[in-house]
Structure 1
């Protein structure tokens, strides 16, 4: 019997988290800083999002952008953020940690999973930065994670259907392989056929026009507001179902 297909939405703000639930998604990965690939959301963001949505909530625990090789002070931040996520009633966390050579840091990842219990743990795209995805998958399984968020070590998951399918076969039900990055309604049908995965991850994001009535063109660091597109999410879910 095949498993029910699940959509996780990467939400960069509270509005996107609410849209994700309204569209019918099963889980929100809550992040800040979309330009840097996602970093820790604030305490206030996690608390208010938890109050606003009833679907699963997995904040990303990534204290900075760049790599996933953390020093002891950064690991202490992760530990404290795990405590906060438990306190606020999160269902799990999305996190990853590597050694200086790029392998999964099994010793410290096992410690993170232990700290997080009974919350679930998704290994985030630190997996995509490892030198050997097949070894990394076994390491992550041994650490006790419940899923791997991965683009198949490509820029976008739809470009890596073959490797994703191989990872699903290797996992053999021991862990969920969740393709993510570049997943849209225009490509998910092919990705499902190639990978055989049952969980998928998307931000379905679009840029929202700036509503401000005044702006200074000399200020260049304001960035964009990204919002989940509810119609795109519904289209993805319709194909998955």
Structure 2
């Protein structure tokens, strides 16, 4: 079995530094936690990429709310992808849906092509879709390398059965990365129940100030899946 990887969702540079020191394997870099994460500033992207030794995946999301985008918003996303590539990011996290909340395969395929050679994660827009198995095949067709999902449930623990189905159905064609309420207290069982080898957490504890990751929580998460 391959070594498991913890990806930490970081809303600030402090969380990036804490996550790296505590053993995280990758950063998903975001801004605006109140909106569920949007594209961070170019300055923040550049600082993270240049000062971290672990891969940085940048959230490409121009606003909060739904994942159905106008032509103008898609143009902004293409520009953000180009900047991420120029700054040396390892990858991006993106999700685009149709008005019916289906994966917009054509738009996603275009973004994956623009991002190359960066990796592409389909983020939790996936969980807005009505059929996880159908959406899985569409994301694979689009060329993404992984899906961040809670199995179409509010938390990954609640969606564990579907996550296990997705891991099985993916059959190595794409990585299924559980995220949503993942903590050191449940991550080992979640990994066992789903078969996932990559897991995603903000490593925020109740009362965490400024949405800064907790070093002890990151270290414990890494230990639990190591």
What TM-score comes out, normalization by structure 1 length?
0.92
Residue 239 of structure 1: CA displacement? Answer: 0.9
Over 3 Å off, 4+ runs = 206-209
In structure 1, what is the equivalent of residue 122 of structure 2?
Answer: 123
Distance 1:9 1:56 in 2: 11
In structure 1, what is the equivalent of residue 133 of structure 2?
Answer: 134
In structure 2, what is the equivalent of residue 226 of structure 1?
Answer: 211
In structure 1, what is the equivalent of residue 83 of structure 2?
Answer: 84
Distance 2:223 2:208 in 1: 24
Distance 2:47 2:86 in 1: 13
Q: Which structure 2 residues correspond to residues 176-187 of structure 1 after superposition, within 5 A?
A: 176-187=175-186
Residue 193 of structure 1: CA displacement? Answer: 1.4
In structure 2, what is the equivalent of residue 235 of structure 1?
Answer: 220
Distance 1:33 1:158 in 2: 25
Deviations 1:101-131 (A, max 9, x none): 0100011110000000000000000100001
In structure 2, what is the equivalent of residue 169 of structure 1?
Answer: 168
SS at match of 1:157: coil
Q: Which is worse superposed, 171-180 or 199-208?
A: 199-208
Q: Which structure 2 residues correspond to residues 183-198 of structure 1 after superposition, within 5 A?
A: 183-198=182-197
Structure 2: state its 5+ residue gaps: none
Residue 78 of structure 1: CA displacement? Answer: 0.6
What is the RMSD of the two structures over their aligned residues, measured on CA atoms?
0.9
Distance 1:208 1:177 in 2: 28
Partners of 2:208 and 2:214 within 8 A in 1 = no
SS at match of 2:212: strand
Q: How many residues align?
A: 225
Structure with the greater alpha carbon radius of gyration: 1
In structure 2, what is the equivalent of residue 221 of structure 1?
Answer: none
What TM-score comes out, normalization by structure 2 length?
0.98
SS at match of 1:24: coil
Partners of 2:163 and 2:176 within 8 A in 1 = yes
**1:51 pairs with 2:36:** no
In structure 1, what is the equivalent of residue 60 of structure 2?
Answer: 61
Distance 1:78 1:64 in 2: 10
Structure 1: state its 5+ residue gaps: 210-224
